[in-house]
Amino acid sequence: MSTATLTESKFTAKAGKLITLDVVGNLIAGYRAANEGKKGVVDSIFFGKEKLMDLLTKPGATGLRLHFGIDEKGEQKIIIFPAGENGANMSVKNAEGFEVGLDWGLPCPHLCPTED
């Protein structure tokens, strides 16, 4: 039997930290500066509350896990899954019974307001 001390999972509903808008602005400005002049770079992606709640209300979900991807056209994507207390993706099935992740958010620029 192991004598290792059991530790609480870090993947709880409280994971993450709120940051000030000054910090947010610096992070976004840094990202935009690093990608200035690059074609097809996306600043952000909007996902609807209903779709996010579908994932968050899955039994056993403690949060969301976001994966970054590039599609066949070279466009940036974010794929979202509910995650459990071990941090792993949780299985989600659509109405047809296929395992799925949330994609098809609205990319910004192009579809979002420009004042952000």
Task: Provide the token pair at 48.
Answer: 């609807």
Comparing 3 with 109, the larger pLDDT belongs to 109
Comparing 82 with 109, the larger pLDDT belongs to 82
pLDDT at 116: 56
For residues 91-110, give the mean pLDDT. Answer: 79
Question: Domain extents for the chain?
Answer: 21-108
Confidence tier at 34 by pLDDT (50, 70, 90): very high
Rounded Cα–Cα distance for residues 53 and 57 (Å): 6
pTM (2 d.p.): 0.75
Residue 105, pLDDT above cutoff 70: yes
